Amino acid sequence: MSRAVYAFEPYNVGRWIIWSLFAMVLLAAPWVFKSNLAHSMLSQMGIAMIACLAYNLLLGQGGMLSFGHAVYTGLGGYLAMHALNAVSAGSLSLPVSLIPLVGGAGGLFFACLLGYVTTRKSGTTFAMITLGMAELVSAMSLMFSEFFGGEAGVSGNRVAGTPFMGINFGPQIQVYYLIALYTFVCVALLFAFTRTPLGRILNAVRDNPERVEFIGYNTQHVRYFAFMIAGFFSGIAGGLGALNFEIVTAEVVGAARSGAYLLFTFLGGATFFFGPIIGAILMILASVLLSELTKAWLLYLGLVFLFMVMYAPGGMASLIMMNLRVASFGHLRRLWVAYVGLGVLAVIALLSAGAWIEMVYHLQLNSALGPTLKFAGMTLDALSVRSWFGAGFVLVTALGLFELARRQYRRDWDEIQVQIEQEIKRREAL
């Protein structure tokens, strides 16, 4: 991809419009998607958005790759759950709606405690330290059973304390709106952070940590403060999670959870502010829906992630922005045919590869059910050569056609980029 992709800045078309739209989407979503499952997923998406945006403060804005983000969301969640139980027991009088802030305080506290030594190093060493910390906390979770609740975790009841105007947070929809409120406020605050001196210096630290020292800033302090701010918001997400699920178990601080934050934040796009929002939505869709659809979902996820890192390291957000840029110069209509064609071929290739994978998984895991399985509306026989050969043939053909189409697309894309550059030069000269 050409370097000029960095030069594109989103148009400042009424920032108010975008934020109002965001608020409206948050408000209206449960009315569009009415099922209980949808409400639960929307709630989880809101929580994930805060967690991923907080994570991206480190990754995308600060250049700090952390493998242990779940430590802070999780510990915040545990603290919030203990506070909730204290409210239920009457020993703490705090409105349930403020419980997430206890989580935030917890996240901030642990980030303060652990962050000092973690941020002393940068780059790969930092990543390894966060990994070590994550494993450490994960291993501890089976040890200190008073705090972590042992294998069963800590559970609570979010219907606690006195209801406020009839809202007791029993029904999922009430919890959703609480989450939506926190999501909106946190997203706004995190966006505001990117426009403050500390936020900008954090970007400078990402770009060139050495130079930052020569303009008067202690790089480690910058990273440490950013770490604490990220910890605060992570804790809020953890607290919201505690309210939503009414239980916190050891997996909230686990390596798998940390890995998921990394994976999906990157997938959504670490180089744009809204990338992690997309990533959060994908995370919930994948873990709730995709995992139901196929047992091979982690494999697909790994593959998608791998290809994303190789071919689109800016994530989905960068793909969207690049195409918006092309559209703003009026060239998008040349590409849509290519996109449709590539899309169709990709789907066919994926389905046939999926057929193979599903057949293997079926043989491995569900062999008791017999060799036939339903896939994409067809019945496949995992033991018959015809199914394997048929899927393989379709796969190879689709891949071949895809490659041909991709090359043509690439030529068109590069041509368009050149034309855009010329147009930019022309405009500058005016």
Site for another protein in 104-133 (CB under 8 A): 117-118, 120-121, 123-125, 127-129, 131-133
CB closer to another protein out of 200 and 411: 200
Instruction: Give the Å distances, CA to CA, from 361 to 222, 273, 358.
Output: 48, 38, 5
22 binds another protein per the rule CB under 8 A = no
* 271/387 with CB nearer another protein: 271
Residue placing its CB nearer to another protein in the complex, 90 or 216: 216
20 is an interface residue for another protein by CB under 8 A: no
Buried b (16+ CB within 10 A) or exposed e, 213-241: eeeebebbebbbbbbbbbbbbbbbbbbbb
In whole angstroms, how close is the CB of 133 to another protein at the nearest point? 6
57 or 175, CB closer to another protein?
Answer: 57
Q: Are 182 and 43 in contact (CB under 8 A)?
A: no
Sequence-separated (6 or more) residues with CB below 8 Å from residue 272 = 60, 314, 315, 317, 318, 321
Binding test (CB under 8 A) with another protein, winner from 309, 327, 337, 378? 309
Torsions phi, psi for 154 (to 5 deg): -115, 125
- b or e along 350-363 (b: 16 or more beta carbons within 10 Å of the residue's beta carbon)? ebbbbbbbbbebbe
Sign of CA dihedral 240, 246, 251, 253: positive
Residue among 89 and 210 whose Cβ is closer to another protein: 210
210 scored as a contact of another protein (CB under 8 A): yes
Cα separation, 295 vs 387, in Å, equals 19
Does 193 bind another protein (CB under 8 A)? Our answer is yes
Helix, strand, coil fractions of the chain, as percent rounded to 5: 75, 5, 20
- Residue 421 near another protein by CB under 8 A: no
Residue 233 makes contact with another protein by CB under 8 A:
no
211: contact with another protein by CB under 8 A = yes
| Binds another protein by CB under 8 A, chosen from 13, 17, 89, 143 | 143
Per CB under 8 A, the list member of 20, 157, 218, 384 interacting with another protein is 218
**List 32, 89, 165, 215, residue binding another protein (CB under 8 A):** 215
Choices 20-28, 81-89, 205-213, 337-345 (CB under 8 A): range interacting with another protein: 205-213
Q: How many residues does this entry show for the chain? A: 430
Quick check: 59 and 72 in contact, CB under 8 A? no
Structure tokens at 148: 């972590």
Here's the x/- map for another protein, 55-74, by CB under 8 A: it reads as --------x-x---------
Cα separation, 236 vs 186, whole angstroms: 9
| Choices 80-88, 104-112, 254-262, 317-325 (CB under 8 A): range interacting with another protein | 254-262
Among 24, 33, 221, 347, binds another protein (CB under 8 A): 221
Query: Of the two residues 263 and 398, which places its CB atom closer to another protein in the complex?
Result: 263
